[in-house]
């Protein structure tokens, strides 16, 4: 008789203890979902989720918050990607202008080399050698600028590739976690329903 009373008390108090513990875990998980990065958020949610046999029971509110945080991170990455693409477009335009300017300078230089040794430029007289030196200096400066913008373009392109890769990895990771979480939730619900059905059959007997 006493054993039955103890069991009854344990059954009655068990939901209360579970509720208190769930509130503590929820608070910890909520703090993590507010402060940590995406990878850590997934780890905390998995760690703090309830356990049923070999399954994890994840709260829907945690999944919703995790989804929101992941979407926000994706939007941030997309914004950075758009910004990088805009910079690349601007740099491509600058490179195109520099290439056109360089081509025009080379044409002018070719025409000048065919003229006499003495020539006038901006109202000043130059020898052919001095003129060539000046023009090649300008060409060298333009080539240096072109090389600089090409370097900046490659650098920005590398950042864009990395951002796209990070975005794709984050999307794949989120989708994988969402799928596994839904599968686990469905399995747990089926197990719970089976247990409920068993209990009802046992009670009916």
pLDDT per residue over 100-152, tens digit each? 888 888 887 777 666 655 666 666 666 767 777 878 888 899 999 999 988 88
Cβ neighbours of 66 (radius 10 Å): 22
pLDDT by residue (tens digit) across 36-87?
677 787 788 788 778 777 777 878 888 788 788 888 888 888 888 898 888 8
Q: 3-state DSSP helix/strand/coil percent for the chain, to nearest 5? A: 85, 5, 5
Q: What are the residues whose beta carbons fall under 8 Å from the beta carbon of 191, sequence distance 6 or more?
A: 52, 53, 55
Residue with tokens 């335009």: 93
At residue 43, the pLDDT reads: 80
**DSSP H or E stretch at residue 127:** strand 124-127
């Amino acid at each position: 008789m006493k054993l039955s009373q103890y069991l009854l008390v344990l059954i009655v108090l068990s939901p209360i203890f579970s509720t208190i513990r769930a509130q503590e875990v929820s608070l910890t998980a909520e703090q993590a979902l507010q402060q940590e990065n995406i990878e850590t958020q997934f780890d905390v949610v998995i760690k703090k989720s309830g356990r049923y046999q070999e399954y994890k029971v994840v709260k829907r509110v945690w999944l919703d918050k995790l989804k929101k945080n992941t979407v926000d991170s994706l939007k941030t990455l997309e914004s950075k990607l758009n910004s990088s693409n805009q910079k690349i477009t601007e740099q491509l335009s600058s490179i195109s202008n520099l290439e056109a300017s360089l081509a025009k300078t080379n044409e002018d230089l070719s025409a000048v080399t065919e003229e006499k040794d003495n020539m006038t430029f901006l109202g000043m007289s130059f020898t052919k050698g001095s003129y060539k030196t000046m023009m090649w200096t300008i060409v060298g400066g333009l080539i240096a600028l072109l090389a600089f913008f090409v370097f900046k373009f490659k650098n920005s392109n590398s950042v864009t590739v990395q951002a796209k890769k990070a975005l794709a990895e984050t999307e794949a990771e989120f989708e994988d976690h969402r799928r596994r979480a839904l599968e686990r939730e469905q399995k747990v619900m089926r197990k719970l329903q089976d247990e409920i059905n068993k209990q009802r059959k046992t009670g009916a007997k």
